């Protein structure tokens, strides 16, 4: 039988950083990355230093979760 994947619970909190609102994503108490709106796009920053640019917030959140699962 295949092993069932563990379910994770993510929390998204809005924080102010350098005068801008940033959505920070946590897995429990551990930060996994952040999403910030800049001009007409969203900047996704992972805790390992990688940065991605997306046009939609949902795309950025999906990219953040995919990279988190890939490197977990």
Domain presence at residue 1: no
Please calculate the CA angle 21-25-29 and round it to the nearest 5 degrees. 120
pLDDT tens for 21-31 read: 999 999 988 99
Domain presence at residue 5: no
pLDDT tens for 19-65 read: 889 999 999 889 999 999 998 999 999 999 999 999 999 999 999 99
Q: Tokens at residue 14, please?
A: 């809005």
How long a stretch of residues is the chain? Answer: 72
Domain presence at residue 14: no
| Domain membership of residue 61 as a residue range | 21-70
Domain presence at residue 60: yes
Of 16, 7, 17, 47, which Cα lies nearest the Cα of 30?
A: 47
Please calculate the CA angle 49-55-59 and round it to the nearest 5 degrees. 70
Q: How many structural domains is the chain composed of?
A: 1
Structure pTM? 0.81
């Amino acid at each position: 039988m295949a092993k069932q994947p563990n379910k994770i619970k993510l929390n998204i909190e809005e924080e102010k950083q350098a005068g801008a609102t940033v959505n920070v994503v946590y897995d429990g108490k551990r930060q996994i990355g952040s999403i910030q709106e800049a001009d007409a796009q969203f900047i996704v920053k992972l805790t390992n230093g990688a940065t991605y640019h997306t046009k939609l917030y949902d795309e950025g959140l999906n990219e953040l979760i995919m990279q988190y699962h890939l490197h977990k």
